[in-house]
Structure 1
Amino acid sequence: MTENILFILGGVAIFLYGIELMGDGLKRSAGNKIRTIIEKTTNTPLKGILVGILLTGLLQSSSGVTVLVIGLVGAGLMTLRQAVGVVFGANIGTTITSILIGLPIADYALLFVFVGVIMVFFFKRKMVQSIGTTILGFGLIFFGLDVMGSGLKEIVMTDYVHDLFLLFSDTSNSFFWFFGVTFGTLFTAAVQSSSAAIGIIQKLYHLNIEAGVQTFTLWGALPMILGANIGTTITGLLASINGTLEAKRVSAIHIMFNLIGTTIFLILLWPYHEIVEWVERTFLEPYSMATLAVAHVMMNVVTTLILFWFIDLMIKFTHVIIKDKPYNDELEVIFSESLLQETPSLALYYVKKGINKMGDLAKNYFLLAKRYSFTNEDGVVDKAEAIENTLDDYDKRLHDYMIKLVRNNSLSEKDSNRLSRDLDTIRDFERIGDHLTNLVGFFKNRYNENQVLSKGGEEDLRHYYRILEEMFDVTLASFVFNDVEKAKIAIEYETLTDKLEEKFRLSYVERLKAGELNFTSKTNYVEILSNLERIGDHLKNIAENIINPMRVPRLDTEDNPLE
């Protein structure tokens, strides 16, 4: 008995690891293309269904795809309506694993393992290693099932297990379906994968032949498969708990899909059983693992065909049960812990969306400081403080998220370069915020001391702000679109800002000599020019990183005591 239990535990472990390994290999083979696929092909629910099938085939887990979609919706790349299509498709795509398991290729499991190991350990090319990982995982799935079956073969013949399976299969018991659905739900929730749970159920069903005793019938297996479709929603539910409202709605639709589908097929359990049994009797062998693969495909395809016509109604219902509320934390919709593991290159893409928001915030702060330089508006100091705190918060959270990204994953050279550039960029935006806070503080002091800009001083400042605003716009555009030509223009602007700072400082000295204004310690005009010039320096840093992300990071040697 102990040996059999070890075979079962070891077999399940190898089986689950095989599914994980196969999905990981497929993901690494095509992971960098996932963002492009999603962006270009989910503009309608029907296309979303096809994308959902494809993604689930890559990730080998409908739960994983649902978690990924929750992150995509939260990041603003997909609408809820598009996400519904992908979730529907994921439920069809998850049947791919059960179809593969149902194929008669178990005798070649160790051959797949051997080929996969050779490709992983004896080839240097990343793509070959990724394909090898996929093949290795594929072989381990079947090998794990065989090991598990070796242990189960003896145990399913014991009186206790025999009676348990009869409980699931005894149609004279009005609640036999309830026991099967409950077992399937709990077991799937435990292993966090409907593909894995159904694969094990397929093996249990097939053991009727190997054990030579009919203990686990189709009546017992079908409710378990229906329960597995409910259990797979747990992962998405957990992923959405701390997510946005839209993320919660995606999870709700995933749960609705599986609950409605399960309910329909439980109501129609008798015709469902008769159709699957006819397929088995006509095209397959008794107790074939492919039988339950057919049942799994049928359940999800039919549910999709029915609910496709009610997508808008389902979306409206989620808005009723998950009501809108004020939401101000824009970064929260960017971050997704699931993306850190599922698709790191996609997580890095969303980091850039967060930096774009940080850049827009810095630009708005610049315009606020510009207005305050010429007009003493009420409430500006409080607004400035709030924006500065938000920029500091963005800096810390984006930095921490990127560090977690690089620690949790082996990034490609291209993604590593992007991450290094982006770390520099968030630092530059944060420093720009510091200089703008200085400017607001300088003008607050001037207003308190009734210091009025001279006509020449105001003209020079307005000119300087105009040039910096143009530089700000072209720098942000160069970063958002990775436009090298715009980055070069931004660097040309920086040369101009250096010259203007020197020219306007000399003009200020000339006005002092001419007696056009009185010098006091509260004037701060030179410091104002200096901070504007440093803003130009940081914009130049951002532009230089666009032109050459491989350049040696500069040392930030600013030592302004007022910052």
Structure 2
Amino acid sequence: MKKTGKIESGDVFVDIFSLFTLFGGLAFFLYGMHVMSSGLEKMVGGKLERILKSMTSNKFKSLALGAVITIAIQSSSAMTVMLVGLVNSGIMQLEQTVGVIMGSNVGTTLTAWILSAAGIQGDNVFMRLLKPESFAPIIALVGIVLILSSKEGKKKDAGSILVGFSILMTGMTFMSDSVSPLADMPVFKDILVMFQNPLAGILLGAIVTGIIQSSAASVGILQSLSMTGSITFGMAIPIIMGQNIGTCVTSLISSIGTNKNAKRVTAVHVYFNVLGTVICLSGFYALNAFFHFDFIDQPISTVGIAVVHSLFNVLTTLILLPFSKQLEKLAKITIREKSTKEELLDDRLLLSPSFAIAECRNLTVKMAKTARDSMLTGIGLITDYDAKTADLLTQREEEIDLYEDKLGTYLVKLSSKSLSHSDSNEVSELLHAIGDFERIGDHAVNILRVATEIHDKGLAFSEDAQNELKVLTQAIVDILNLTVDAFEKDDSALASRVEPLEQVIDGLKLELKNRHIRRLQNGQCTIELGFVLSDILTNYERVSDHCSNVAVCIIQIKDSVMDTHGYLNEIKTAGGQDYTDAFNLYQKQYQLPVSHQQELAEVSVP
């Protein structure tokens, strides 16, 4: 009797250690998934985000795009959270997300197929190489070599992807090994009998997935259990469907505190998975009642789980895709509360830094265009003052200040994340640029004050001063348009044309001041008009300086060098043929007209 007790006690300890191994394997799995997803996201960057917004007008394009992006970032939960953030920011509309959500569910099935490699059987060399315990160490070695041999860039990101994948598959192996002793345990078989009921299976799948917030991990656990030979098709099918419902927990959590449209994204996700489960499970058991499927009581393999997982998601998508408008309406009926104010940038996007950076760039481009438009409006008010237009300019200034505040805070948060080399450079570029665009907005307000003074006091420049000012004004308009275009396109070739024009503007300003002094000395101008002209010239010059700063930042950020003053000094002293040619061209383009005083001087010469 004592001997028997010791054996039973030993068995208990074996089972406890198996449980430890199971949870340890799950930890490896989740961490590996996180590392791999982060690496994939860094490699694809914000390109997918830009495509996401531009290709969601058609539901079939949205479907394909959702699948591709989910495959690229290996997380349907991350995809849905991203959609919630984009809608909450007002960047995407609800109707654009429905197809993407459906495609995301299809894309996530790839993980189950990758994990099914753990169940491959066979003793020949090729089959053994396909097993995770064989190829995972090799992949990890290649990944580590890539990480150690490259300081930054896509090679390091590729190394992270390989290491993450290796850790993920190692975790899958741990989970498989930990559950193998369960096959001979009567208690385990008794527990499984409870899940012969489909509703219990759905509940189990939903709860486990909801707790660990990863459908890929819960599918991996099920695939590990299937290797014991104790999981049948009848047990697995409801659990797999429940796992799809459980994955909605992540989007439910992410929608807390969002506006109504963002909450509706989550509602669409929940309805899609719940309705898909009801339709597919009801259809399956209805068919089983007539045809009595023999396989339902047979053990399911890891590949079988991948097949069922894929079939369920593809069938659900095919059935519900034609009813995407109805799903949208159902979400709107469910979520009726008043909308909260849309956020310019949603913190949920910080979970996907590359996507967040792309949104910051989009918003900075809006800020740049608003600053440019404000300056152009201010310039127009000098000659054609209008009170309503002046009020509009003031409103734009408040908008620009809001952009700078939100973008500055958000970019600082982003800079603390793990970023790729190119993403880190882009954050630096944006942080530099928003300050210059904000200052351009300030100078637009200064020009407004000058325009208001001219209007209120009934001041008027001489004909010579007006003609000269037109030339400088056109140069300022052109440098603003050139800078904003270069920034929007991130075009260093366009940016390189800004500095020669800025130098020409400096020369024009100096010449205008000299001409004004001569007119003042000859009694052709007043001191009061001189102060007004000086204010205009000073603001014009500073606007061109800020344009130069933005352009230099675009050029230098690609080389990770941010010594703006050093670069400008080098350009001005050494220059280059391209710079010289551009400078000479701009000098001819923006030549000041001959003043009446100069004409008289030329006539008086014998």
Shift of the 122–287 alpha-carbon distance from structure 1 to 2, 3 Å rule, reads same
The structure 1 residue matched to 2:359, chosen from 341, 344, 350, is 350
Shift of the 358–328 alpha-carbon distance from structure 1 to 2, 3 Å rule, reads farther
Correspondences of 1:498-509 after superposition (within 5 Å): 498-509=506-517
Unaligned runs of 5+ in 2: 1-11, 122-127, 567-606
Aligned residue for 1:560?
none
Correspondences of 1:66-85 after superposition (within 5 Å): 66-71=80-85, 81-85=95-99
Aligned residue for 2:114?
100
Letter in structure 2 aligned against 1:167: M
The CA deviation at 1:264 is 0.8
Shift of the 462–32 alpha-carbon distance from structure 1 to 2, 3 Å rule, reads closer
Contact kept in structure 2, 1:115 and 1:132, CA below 8 Å: no
Question: Counterparts of 1:260 and 1:42 in 2: how far apart (Å)?
Answer: 23
Contact kept in structure 1, 2:22 and 2:179, CA below 8 Å: yes
Question: Counterparts of 1:402 and 1:488 in 2: how far apart (Å)?
Answer: 26
> Within the alignment, does 1:111 sit opposite 2:134 as a pair?
yes
Contact kept in structure 1, 2:179 and 2:224, CA below 8 Å: no
> Within the alignment, does 1:225 sit opposite 2:240 as a pair?
yes
Shift of the 131–358 alpha-carbon distance from structure 1 to 2, 3 Å rule, reads closer
Aligned residue for 2:441?
433
The structure 2 residue matched to 1:313, chosen from 326, 330, 345, is 326
Aligned residue for 2:269?
254
Contact kept in structure 1, 2:180 and 2:227, CA below 8 Å: no
Aligned residue for 2:477?
469
> Within the alignment, does 1:166 sit opposite 2:173 as a pair?
no
Contact kept in structure 2, 1:362 and 1:433, CA below 8 Å: yes
The CA deviation at 1:474 is 2.2
Letter in structure 1 aligned against 2:205: G
Correspondences of 1:215-294 after superposition (within 5 Å): 217-241=232-256, 247-271=262-286, 278=293, 280=295, 286-294=299-307
**Per-residue displacement from partner, 1:53-98 (whole Å, max 9, x unpaired)?**
3322232221122233445666788665553333212111212222
Contact kept in structure 2, 1:116 and 1:134, CA below 8 Å: no
Shift of the 405–533 alpha-carbon distance from structure 1 to 2, 3 Å rule, reads same
Letter in structure 2 aligned against 1:254: H
The CA deviation at 1:373 is 2.6
The CA deviation at 1:20 is 2.9
Contact kept in structure 2, 1:120 and 1:128, CA below 8 Å: no
Describe the SS at the equivalent of 1:364. Answer: helix
Question: Counterparts of 2:168 and 2:248 in 1: how far apart (Å)?
Answer: 23
> Within the alignment, does 1:554 sit opposite 2:564 as a pair?
yes
The CA deviation at 1:408 is 0.6
Aligned residue for 2:223?
202
**Aligned sequence identity (%):** 29
Contact kept in structure 1, 2:385 and 2:455, CA below 8 Å: yes
Question: Counterparts of 2:154 and 2:380 in 1: how far apart (Å)?
Answer: 54
Letter in structure 1 aligned against 2:171: G
Shift of the 92–9 alpha-carbon distance from structure 1 to 2, 3 Å rule, reads same
Contact kept in structure 2, 1:187 and 1:231, CA below 8 Å: yes
Describe the SS at the equivalent of 1:120. Answer: helix
Describe the SS at the equivalent of 1:261. Answer: helix
The structure 2 residue matched to 1:148, chosen from 175, 179, 199, is 175
Question: Counterparts of 1:483 and 1:61 in 2: how far apart (Å)?
Answer: 33
Which structure is larger by alpha-carbon Rg, 1 or 2?
2
Contact kept in structure 2, 1:451 and 1:523, CA below 8 Å: no
| Stretch moving more, 253-262 or 479-488 | 479-488
Shift of the 326–164 alpha-carbon distance from structure 1 to 2, 3 Å rule, reads closer
Describe the SS at the equivalent of 1:408. Answer: coil
Give the root-mean-square deviation of aligned CA atoms.
3.8
Shift of the 393–30 alpha-carbon distance from structure 1 to 2, 3 Å rule, reads closer
**Per-residue displacement from partner, 1:286-327 (whole Å, max 9, x unpaired)?**
232333322221211111111121223334544555679899
Aligned residue for 1:172?
none
Question: Counterparts of 1:327 and 1:150 in 2: how far apart (Å)?
Answer: 50
Contact kept in structure 2, 1:113 and 1:137, CA below 8 Å: no
Question: Counterparts of 1:324 and 1:460 in 2: how far apart (Å)?
Answer: 59
Contact kept in structure 1, 2:64 and 2:100, CA below 8 Å: yes
Question: Counterparts of 2:89 and 2:102 in 1: how far apart (Å)?
Answer: 20
| Stretch moving more, 265-274 or 225-234 | 265-274
Shift of the 534–326 alpha-carbon distance from structure 1 to 2, 3 Å rule, reads farther
Unaligned runs of 5+ in 1: 170-175, 557-563
| TM-score, length-scaled by structure 2 | 0.76
Aligned residue for 1:559?
none
Shift of the 430–555 alpha-carbon distance from structure 1 to 2, 3 Å rule, reads farther
Contact kept in structure 2, 1:116 and 1:132, CA below 8 Å: no
Question: Counterparts of 1:453 and 1:279 in 2: how far apart (Å)?
Answer: 96
Letter in structure 2 aligned against 1:468: I
Question: Counterparts of 1:127 and 1:380 in 2: how far apart (Å)?
Answer: 49
Aligned residue for 2:551?
543
Aligned residue for 1:3?
17
Contact kept in structure 2, 1:70 and 1:251, CA below 8 Å: yes
Correspondences of 1:395-410 after superposition (within 5 Å): 395-410=404-419
**Per-residue displacement from partner, 1:1-37 (whole Å, max 9, x unpaired)?**
4423322221221222233344345445555764576
**Per-residue displacement from partner, 1:364-417 (whole Å, max 9, x unpaired)?**
2113322433355335665444333332232232233233323212322x4444
The CA deviation at 1:42 is 5.5
The CA deviation at 1:502 is 2.2
Question: Counterparts of 1:274 and 1:231 in 2: how far apart (Å)?
Answer: 28
Letter in structure 2 aligned against 1:267: S
Question: Counterparts of 1:476 and 1:498 in 2: how far apart (Å)?
Answer: 20
Question: Counterparts of 2:25 and 2:441 in 1: how far apart (Å)?
Answer: 57
Correspondences of 1:460-499 after superposition (within 5 Å): 460-499=468-507
